[in-house]
Amino acid sequence: MIEKDVFSILFVCHGNICRSPTAEGVMRGKLAHRGWQARFRIDSAGTHGYHVGEAPDARSARAAAGRGYDLSALRARKVEDSDFSGFDLILAADCHNLADLHRRCPPEMAGRLRLMLEPLGEGREVPDPYYGGERGFEQVLDLLEAACDAWLFRLGEDPHRGPADRTPLAC
């Protein structure tokens, strides 16, 4: 159930060890900087349960720590059916994960599903850095910092208004 005075955001990627926990950490940091922690509930999950219970990838944690974001308390989990009603906004890292979410999501809640980078341009995706080098993790942070700032600007003083357009984007 969604708490009325708290706006909730779930960040989702494939395994919940790189992109989505990084997004969670970045958003938590941005909220803390603004003093808005009490106004939001932030979490992350994966569309697949390969890494349930694991800490974020060490490269993600190291890159995030280099910018002041602490991912050490985060543990991977899989998206649950209750997440669709439990979060106001569910942000997928890429079109593949967005499609996975749409397949599971009750139709009346599909407007909650978006891409993480939506405010930066339609169809933009967070690349998966898992099989690349260290630079990929820095690129993910660059994108997520910009996207989190844009989401917070979009949500503004009244997060419960949500995104202006609740029509799901096509990938």
In a domain, 74, yes or no: yes
If we measure between CA atoms, which residue out of 70, 32, 75, 69 comes closest to residue 51? 75
Evaluate whether 93 touches 68 at the Cβ level (below 8 Å): no
Give pLDDT, residue 157.
59
Give pLDDT, residue 59.
97
Give pLDDT, residue 170.
54
Contacts 24+ apart (CB under 8 A), 137-142: 137/18, 137/22, 137/59, 137/60, 137/62, 137/63, 138/63, 140/18, 140/19, 140/22, 140/60, 140/63, 141/22, 141/26, 141/63, 141/64, 141/67
Active-site residue list: 13, 19, 128
In a domain, 116, yes or no: yes
pTM for the model = 0.91
- Please return the burial class of 98, using the count of CB atoms within 10 Å of its CB with bins 0-12, 13-18 and 19+: buried
- Residues 98-125, mean pLDDT to the nearest whole number: 95
Q: How many domains does the chain have?
A: 1
Q: Residue 95: which CATH number?
A: 3.40.50.2300
Least confident segment among 38-42, 101-105, 122-126: 122-126
Helix 58-66 vs helix 134-155: angle between axes, to the nearest 10 degrees? Answer: 60
In a domain, 166, yes or no: no
Give pLDDT, residue 163.
56
pLDDT tens digit sequence for 39-76? 999 999 999 999 999 999 999 999 999 999 999 999 99
96 residue type, one letter: H
In a domain, 135, yes or no: yes
**Structure-block tokens of residue 20:** 């989505």
Confidence band (pLDDT; 50, 70, 90) for 1?
Answer: very low
Task: Tell me the residue range of the domain where 145 lies.
Answer: 7-160
In a domain, 169, yes or no: no
In a domain, 23, yes or no: yes
In a domain, 37, yes or no: yes
In a domain, 165, yes or no: no
